[in-house]
Structure 1
């Protein structure tokens, strides 16, 4: 079942979020300390009004276990939603630079989609993406955007199957991504 996340889901959702982000989590936080990075994202997840908040997250839950998560938000609000993130990062590492913008106004941005490795291949990711599209539509968005690593063929095929179209190549935090958009009909 897909439901809105709650602050108390942090222990199960943050590992999924970090799995989706991979090396980006370390680049964004300017830290190579796994425990510190996890702590930062747990703090953010439990707080309202930030890009990694429970408020911006849907979870797929089965038998009281969270098997997948999707974090998404209005691209127009990225700067506002990023303020708490930057405050925590600057506190931990004052010399760090602000990350690039991965989204823009005019789209609902699917930031992070992740499924527990033991539950992959069961359609959970597909259900979460569809729920993200519906969520964006309900908020009045005509465009749903996401970035996918260039060499993640499995994800590219899934998104294309769901109706996402590659718009262009985008560099973000030193990596190359395909910027994909789903246009609401």
Structure 2
């Protein structure tokens, strides 16, 4: 079953987010300490009006356990949604200015993070979460759904392409090459 996340889901969602981001989560905290990254994401997932908020997340439940999550938001809001997060990491973790390229923009529902607990992988949960995001986008008038996929993750790219996503362009994310894939909602 898929449902909108609640604040009570914060801990499980944060674990999934950090697992999905891997090294990127550690870059945000300027440390190799994954526990520190988890604390950061647990905090922001439990807050409102930021890109990692439970407000922007759908969860997939198996026997009342969160087996997967997808965090999505209007690409037009990315700068406003990321500002609290970036201000916080700049103040608490980075001595030099921390900047990151924009991942999305207007007209696009952006899939920021998608993660499935390894125990539940291979059961179509990721595909169902993506389908739910596409339906969410349709009901809110978006022209497309977009995401970034690491060029070093061909398995994820194949999944997205199988679901109808196509490469729109290449983008850098903290200096690492990614492909911007989109799913068109325009007939």
Range with bigger deviation, 53-62 or 134-143: 134-143
**Conserved in 1, the CA contact under 8 Å of 2:165 and 2:182?**
yes
**Conserved in 2, the CA contact under 8 Å of 1:28 and 1:99?**
no
Listed one character per residue, the Cα deviations across residues 113-144 of structure 1 (whole Å, up to 9, x for unaligned) are: 10011111100000000001111111110111
TM-score (norm 1): 0.95
TM-score (norm 2): 0.94
Aligned-residue offset at 1:151 = 2.6
Listed one character per residue, the Cα deviations across residues 73-103 of structure 1 (whole Å, up to 9, x for unaligned) are: 0111011101210222122125241222111
**Compared CA separation, residues 76 and 29, structure 1 to 2 (3 A):** farther
Provide structure 2 residue ranges, at least 5 long, that are not aligned to the other structure.
Answer: none
**1:138 alignment counterpart:** 139
2:112 & 2:163 partners in 1: Cα distance? Answer: 17
SS in 2 for 1:48: coil
SS in 1 for 2:146: strand
Q: How does 1:6-85 map to 2 (within 5 A)?
A: 6-85=6-85
Structure 1 segments, 4+ long, off by >4 Å, are none
Range with bigger deviation, 25-34 or 38-47: 25-34
Match status 1:180 vs 2:181: yes
1:95 & 1:102 partners in 2: Cα distance? Answer: 23
Aligned-residue offset at 1:30 = 2.6
Cα RMSD (Å): 1.2
Listed one character per residue, the Cα deviations across residues 9-32 of structure 1 (whole Å, up to 9, x for unaligned) are: 112111111111111111233333
How many equivalent pairs are there? 185
